[in-house]
A and B are shown apart, each in its own frame.
Chain A
Amino acid sequence: DSGVTQTPKHLITATGQRVTLRCSPRSGDLSVYWYQQSLDQGLQFLIQYYNGEERAKGNILERFSAQQFPDLHSELNLSSLELGDSALYFCASSVEPGTQQFFGPGTRLTVL
């Protein structure tokens, strides 16, 4: 158990819908990272927050957004969902930016 929690574990929804994925980092970790993992692309970095502020952006679609709250938990919002958004979404946290990241169990999103 890495200490990073994610909810929900599974999410099944329809095209065009909007969903919110939630992540709680390890106690004391200020950095939160979001990654998408699909079969053909591997793990792809989406976005990073540090102590409530956006720190870095990867190949995150405009339909996706995220935020980190004062209690350091983070949410990833996915809207206007398409079939191709079906993937595993992982959250990771680290005590400081640049140190090893610890991953949560992931949310499996299925868009029908």
Chain B
Amino acid sequence: EDQVTQSPEALRLQEGESSSLNCSYTVSGLRGLFWYRQDPGKGPEFLFTLYSAGEEKEKERLKATLTKKESFLHITAPKPEDSATYLCAVGRQGGSEKLVFGKGTKLTVNP
């Protein structure tokens, strides 16, 4: 069964304090790994798709990387507006197109 585990569950940072979020996954044939940002009471907002080990994607202060077993979301010099829950999801090759989500990391950036 496909599984996604995110750590830590919650992370508090000071503004400007860089850190990384982890997403460990088990899937039989990775079709893609997806990162989303979710604000309270809102729908997940798409950030990145990674397809193969070694791939990296960047957007503003966020950088996502992928290995064969995990993905990292690096946040450089975060700002308070980066506070949100970050969700990781995987899709499997050859099967249903559903995404299997982790439970997320709740990031709080204090000014």
Contacts and interface: CB of A to CB of B under 8 A. Distances in A.
Pair from one complex: yes
Given A2-B43, A100-B34, A106-B42, A33 B98 contact: yes
Interface residues on A, range: 20 to 34
B32 A98 contact: yes
B100 A102 contact: no
B2 to A, nearest CB: 11
Contacts of B89: 43
Interface stretch (B11-19, B58-66, B101-109): B101-109
A106 B87 CA distance: 16
Given A2-B43, A103-B45, A98 B31 contact: yes
A63 B22 CA distance: 36
Nearest to A94: B97
Nearest to B4: A42
Contacts, number: 63
Nearest to B6: A42
Interface in A25-80: 31, 33, 42-45, 48, 55-56, 58
Nearest to B36: A103
A45 to B, nearest CB: 4
B96 A90 contact: no
Contact of A105 (B31, B36, B43, B103): B43
B71 interface: no
B93 to A, nearest CB: 8
Contacts of B36: 103
A90 B43 contact: yes
Contacts of A48: 96-98
A65 B49 CA distance: 30
Interface of B: 31-32, 34, 36, 41-46, 49, 87, 89, 91, 96-104
